[in-house]
């Protein structure tokens, strides 16, 4: 297939609050607008009695359907229900999250009057499927491959779960790249004519739910090498909103002696106003929060200033700055050695964040030349073009050297984690370690896998474990097992082991305990297809209903036209008026009618018009 007719892979920024899709067309990266004309799509899914909504449609009805409108799913993916951060979030979300099998969080929603449970991967797949459809409509052909971005600080479990979500959405992930790295790629190609020799760039990525900072070197040959990365997968705009919500919950209790913290609908409406106020205070000094009938018929109104916003969130802003300082230490660089500080993510628009960053870098101007909402998707689109052998020379000559964000190791005796791959090691990477039996005639060995920076296993993230069985009988410490850790270009870990004392090989690859099984993925793919068919059927109903209503109202307008009234007999006129009003009343009384009923009603009106037309001709 020629490059002209070949369908390129797409680049997707799967964000906590908003997502974005890009593709290479005519040697340019295009950000694709969705069906609402928006270049970013809310990462939001909603269910009601009749349909499933994704994106803008879901976000727009969130205030009056809070318990069935799911957002922030990126904060659940690859995590356990018992995680402290998940438990804290559950207190603030208007929807319900329960612990499923294997401590996997499940989101509960009512769809078509039935309670259903959804895994985070399944909800993420719905957002990815929406972006896939957006790209397919733009390109006019099916899309099968994608480059998907993830926070640099995502662990192996979260990366694998994101890959599972893409599979359910019908997308093959050809590369998974870190969000700040993607932004740096967009920056590098945008500034390629200005780069002489080598420059050090710090990417500060503060989005809706995650925070990443990466330090990279970019040279004039378009070689991008990540030197260090840091961050927090639970820090972003949503946390700033939560602080505001908590503040106003306390204010409401102080003023009206009422506690709204357990009222999900009230919290949902208050959250919408807090998000709006946060955006306004980024440009204005103050604004007013207004919510009619917030709780028990009580209207709530309060002044909110930028200074108050900064006060309730200052510790979070300072946490971002401490992460930048730690990243500089990891990269063995000073503040003065950074040539450019690039801001990515909607939350970098907050004036206090910019002020603290400028203070840290001694008044250095911050780079805001690339769109903070689209830069990550733009970079993903460049990598997708590179891997699809499309785009111009600059895209094709791109070289990327990324790093692993967290240390990986094996659990040993005494709750100690022996590190095999330290954090900020360049990837792909492969490291081996030798383990020995700890008792006489030991026939099997347990190999637990951990990720994190603490010396104790129990204080790190447990990824999974496996057993190597069939070891030959021998005294303690004689049998030697070689454990191999291998991280691919997507940052996903594979672990294998072999017994090498006698030359016998027995390799096992670890399967992440938090990822979906093959059966679960297949079921979700079936469900996704069913949802797709149901969505199409519902859309056809809506269109048929719209066609009938439009036809009936057009007839009603024609009947009122004097020229038409003079040409139709009084009996026919009365009959047409009666049938038209009858149809419009029926539409009001039956909001959810079947498509056959709608088409039959339209056919009846059409037949009536044809008969009246015939009478007019005969007369």
Q: Kindly state whether residues 307 and 424 are assigned to the same domain.
A: no
Q: Select from 291, 314, 337 the last residue of a domain.
A: 314
pLDDT of residue 515: 57
15 and 155 housed in the same domain: yes
Flag whether 43 is in a domain: yes
Q: Which of 484, 516, 548 is the last residue of a domain?
A: 516
What is residue 232's three-state secondary structure?
Answer: strand
Q: How far is CA 436 from CA 330, 413, 480, 500, in A?
A: 33, 12, 5, 11
Claim to verify: residue 397 and residue 414 sit in the same structural domain: no
Residues 471, 595: one domain? no
Residue 418 domain-assigned?
yes
Q: Which domain holds residue 204?
A: 10-235+315-402
pLDDT classification of 619: cutoffs 50, 70, 90: very low
Supply the pLDDT for residue 207: 93
Lowest mean pLDDT segment, chosen from 11-15, 161-165, 505-509, 581-585: 505-509
- Sheet architecture: strand order including 223-232: 340-344, 198-206, 211-219, 223-232, 399-403, 426-427
pLDDT score of 9: 93
Which residues are paired to 139 by β-bridges?
none
The pLDDT assigned to 1 comes to 41
Mean pLDDT of the chain: 87
Q: Which residues are catalytic?
A: 13, 74, 179, 205
537 and 605 within one domain: yes
| 243/225 same-domain check | no
- Provide the number of structural domains found in the chain: 4
Q: From the CA atom positions of the chain, what is the Rg in Å?
A: 29
Considering only residues 114 and 399, tell me which one the structure prediction assigns the higher pLDDT.
Answer: 114
| Chain mean position to CA 80 | 18
Instruction: Indicate whether 1 belongs to any domain.
Output: no
Q: What is the pLDDT of residue 64?
A: 82
φ/ψ (deg, to 5) at 270 = -65, -40
At 49, which CATH number? 3.30.420.40
300 contacts 250 by C-beta, under 8 angstroms: no
169 has pLDDT over 80: yes
- CATH for 267: 3.90.640.10
- Tens of pLDDT, residue by residue over 494-530, are 888 888 877 666 555 544 445 566 676 677 777 777 7
Q: Which residue has the higher pLDDT, 322 or 508?
A: 322
The dihedrals phi and psi of 380, each to the nearest 5 degrees, come to -65, -35
**Cα–Cα distances in Å, from 443 out to 378, 439, 440, 476, 500?**
53, 10, 9, 11, 14
Is residue 136 domain-resident? Answer: yes
Which pLDDT belongs to residue 438? Answer: 84
Query: pLDDT tens, 372-399?
Result: 999 999 999 999 999 988 877 777 777 8
Same domain, yes or no: 188 and 243: no
Same domain, 348 and 434: no
Q: What is the pLDDT of residue 617?
A: 45
pLDDT per residue as tens digits for the range 247-266: 999 999 999 999 998 888 88
From 248, 281, 314, give the residue that closes a domain.
314
pLDDT class for 214, splitting at 50, 70, 90?
A: very high
* Same domain flag for 325 and 261: no
Return the CATH number at 434: 2.60.34.10
């Amino acid at each position: 297939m020629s490059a002209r007719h070949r369908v390129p892979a797409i680049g997707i920024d799967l964000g906590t609050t908003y997502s974005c899709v890009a593709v290479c067309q005519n040697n340019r990266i295009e950000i694709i607008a969705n069906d609402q004309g928006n270049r970013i799509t809310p990462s939001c899914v909603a269910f009601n009695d009749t349909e499933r909504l994704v994106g803008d449609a879901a976000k727009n009805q969130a205030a009056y359907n809070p318990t069935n409108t799911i957002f922030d799913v990126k904060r659940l993916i690859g995590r356990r229900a018992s995680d402290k951060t998940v438990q804290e979030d559950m207190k603030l979300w208007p929807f319900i999250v329960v612990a499923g099998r294997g401590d996997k969080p499940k989101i509960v929603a009512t769809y078509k009057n039935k309670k259903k449970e959804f895994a985070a991967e399944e909800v993420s797949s719905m957002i990815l499927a929406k972006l896939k459809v957006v790209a397919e409509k733009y390109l006019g052909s099916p899309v099968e491959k994608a480059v998907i971005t993830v926070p640099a600080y995502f662990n192996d479990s979260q990366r694998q779960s994101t890959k599972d979500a893409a599979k359910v959405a019908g997308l093959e992930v050809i590369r998974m790249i870190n969000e700040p790295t993607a932004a740096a790629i967009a920056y590098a190609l945008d500034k390629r004519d200005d780069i002489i020799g080598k420059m050090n760039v710090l990417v500060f990525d503060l989005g809706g739910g995650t925070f990443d900072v990466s330090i990279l070197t970019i040279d004039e040959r378009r070689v991008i090498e990540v030197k260090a990365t840091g961050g927090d997968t639970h820090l972003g705009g949503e946390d700033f909103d939560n602080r505001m919500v908590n503040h106003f919950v306390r204010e409401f209790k102080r003023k009206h002696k009422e506690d709204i913290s357990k009222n999900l609908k009230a919290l949902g409406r208050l959250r919408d106003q807090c998000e709006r106020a946060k955006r306004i205070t980024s440009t204005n000094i103050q604004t007013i929060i207004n919510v009619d009938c917030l709780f028990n018929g009580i209207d709530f109104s309060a002044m909110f200033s930028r200074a108050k916003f900064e006060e309730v969130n200052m510790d979070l802003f300072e946490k971002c700055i401490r992460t930048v300082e730690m990243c500089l230490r990891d990269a063995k660089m000073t503040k003065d050695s950074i040539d450019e500080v690039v801001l990515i993510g909607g939350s970098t628009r907050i004036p206090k964040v910019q002020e603290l960053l400028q203070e840290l870098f001694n008044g250095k101007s911050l780079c805001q030349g690339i769109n903070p909402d689209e830069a990550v998707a733009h970079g993903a689109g460049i990598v997708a073009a590179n891997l699809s052998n499309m785009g111009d020379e600059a895209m094709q000559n791109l070289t990327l050297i990324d790093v692993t964000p967290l240390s990986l190791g094996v659990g040993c005796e005494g709750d100690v984690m022996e590190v095999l791959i330290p954090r900020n090691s360049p990837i792909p990477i492969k490291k081996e370690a030798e383990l020995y039996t700890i008792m006489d005639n030991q026939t099997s060995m347990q190999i637990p896998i951990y990720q994190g920076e603490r010396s104790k296993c129990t204080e790190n993230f447990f990824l999974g474990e496996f057993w190597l069985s069939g070891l030959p009988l021998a005294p303690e410490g004689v049998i030697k097992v070689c454990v191999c850790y291998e991280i691919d270009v997507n940052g996903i870990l594979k672990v294998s082991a072999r017994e090498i004392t006698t030359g016998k090989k027995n390799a096992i690859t670890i399967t992440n305990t938090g990822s979906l099984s093959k059966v679960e993925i297949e079921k979700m793919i079936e469900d996704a297809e069913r949802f797709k068919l149901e969505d199409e059927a519902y859309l056809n109903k809506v269109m048929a209903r719209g066609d009938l209503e439009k036809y009936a109202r057009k007839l009603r307008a024609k009947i009122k036209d004097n020229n038409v009234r003079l040409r139709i007999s009084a009996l026919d006129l009365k009959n047409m008026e009666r049938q038209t009003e009858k149809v419009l009343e029926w539409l009001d009384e039956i909001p959810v009618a079947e498509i056959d009923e709608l088409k039959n009603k339209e056919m009846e009106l059409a037949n009536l018009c044809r008969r009246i037309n015939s009478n007019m001709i005969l007369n």
